[in-house]
Chain A
């Protein structure tokens, strides 16, 4: 055990941690660890303590420890949380249950397989597709503050996937494009410099895109960056509906997506 001789180290707290070791060939189980309680510790600190001092076989992802990288998302007492931002003091003295993010396949312990999510971002094309190609000598693409405001909120996404673990629709249908990938698609669709809305429409406006969403709304509640993916999806539904009507009303009107920028 570590030499933690401070006053607070006399208090301890129990963590019930999901364990899955594929090499052992045994079904997943829960293991309880007792860690020192400190009121300035977060769940990630407790996991690091377990890894360093108690059980080096415990595996989990983490990096920045400050809610920026989006790596340490896990279920804490059934809620998707960034463990670097979930303080022990909010749970003390109750035992804390730590599980891998819901609905994703588990590779080992608290580590989920995120391949499918990365693929979805590729399908949606969550990158800038310039509306007009211009040579570098012509300078930058200018944008007004009002144009920036329309998509800025959606740029805050850190791909932590908490929204997916809060989404029962994703739980039922793993092929649902899902909150973050759709919000990121909107982020570029609403960008005045972007011209890729038509390319994204087939995936974004498909049955497995926005129309799979039944507006549970919890994705926005758990988002640590206030991206509001639920809002992004509903706004995309309005855009898609308007486009659909316009394609009928406008003589020779071609399918145009992306909404007003």
Chain B
């Protein structure tokens, strides 16, 4: 159907005028769920920022002094403190959504969502624990 044409009929011209509503720019403030979504999307900037920081560290792997200077700089420490809560929010929100993406069927039943999300949390915990162990043992070895 055309938006702007007037189609003549037996009863006379019928204005096919439609009203198009514009999406308000602040649509994401209209509902808490939309705001949570926007925050989830924006966390990627901080996750990306932290990835850049890791790359900068990696580029200094062969220069221990420069590596330590960057690691200890107030800017880097500040970045990590800011990025941490955003990264956690990012991980938690995405892990909670995994049951919708990963559907495993056992006959006529779906594997319950908490098991799928739980497996992701368990994996996260295991990797984190492994990293902490690696960092700790690496530290004592010198």
Interface size class of B (residues with CB under 8 A): 20 to 34
Closest Cβ neighbor of B100 among chain A residues: A231
A90 in the interface (beta carbon within 8 A): no
Residues of A within 8 A of B28 (CB): 168
**In the complex the two chains form, is A217's CB within 8 Å of B33's CB?**
yes
Residue from A23, A113, A149, A220 in contact with B18 in the complex, judged by beta carbons closer than 8 Å? A113
**Which residues of the other chain, B, contact A218 by a CB distance below 8 angstroms?**
31, 33-34, 37
B130 beta carbon closer than 8 Å to chain A: no
Question: What are the residues of chain B within 8 A of A191 when measuring CB–CB?
Answer: none
Enumerate chain A residues within 8 angstroms of B41, measured Cβ to Cβ. Answer: 214
Q: At the interface, yes or no: B101 with Cβ under 8 Å from chain A? A: yes
Distance of A115 Cα from B103 Cα, bound (Å): 33
On whether the beta carbons of B18 and A228 are closer than 8 Å, the reply is no
Interface residues of A in 102-154 (CB under 8 A from B): 102-103, 105-107, 113, 115, 145-146, 148-150
User: CB-CB < 8 A to B97: which residues of A?
Assistant: 215, 217, 234
Q: Are B37 and A102 in contact (CB under 8 A)?
A: no
The contact string, 1 if C-beta is below 8 Å from chain B, for chain A 226-240, is 001011001101100
CB atoms of B18 and A146 under 8 A apart: no
Q: Is the CB of B27 within 8 A of A168?
A: yes
Expressed in whole angstroms, the minimum distance between the Cβ of A259 and any Cβ of chain B is 10
Q: How far is the CA of A247 from the CA of B138 in the complex (A)?
A: 43
Whether A22 and B109, one on each chain, are in contact in the complex, defined by CB atoms closer than 8 angstroms, is no
Q: Is the CB of B103 within 8 A of A235?
A: yes
* B1 located at the interface, meaning its Cβ lies under 8 Å from any Cβ of chain A in the complex: yes
Check A105 against B3 for contact (C-beta < 8 Å): yes
- Whether A238 pairs with B101 at a CB distance below 8 angstroms is yes
The verdict on A221 contacting chain B, using a C-beta distance below 8 Å, is yes
Query: Given that A78-B30, A216-B37 are contacting pairs, would A149 and B21 also be in contact in the complex, using a CB cutoff of 8 Å?
Result: no
**Residue A28 CB within 8 A of the other chain:** yes
Write the chain A residue with the least CB distance to B94.
Answer: A215
**B18 near A107: Cβ-Cβ < 8 Å:** yes
Query: Are the C-beta atoms of A146 and B23 separated by less than 8 Å?
Result: no
A93 contacts B by Cβ under 8 Å? no
* Closest-CB distance, A171 to chain B (whole angstroms): 4
Chain A residues in the interface with B (C-beta under 8 A): 20, 22-23, 28, 78, 102-103, 105-107, 113, 115, 145-146, 148-150, 168, 171-172, 214-218, 220-221, 228, 230-231, 234-235, 237-238
8 additional contacts, CB 8 Å, given A171-B23, A217-B37? Answer: A22-B15, A168-B23, A168-B27, A168-B28, A215-B97, A217-B97, A218-B31, A235-B100
* Chain B residues in the interface with A (C-beta under 8 A): 1, 3, 15, 17-21, 23, 27-28, 30-31, 33-34, 37, 41, 97, 100-103, 105, 107-109
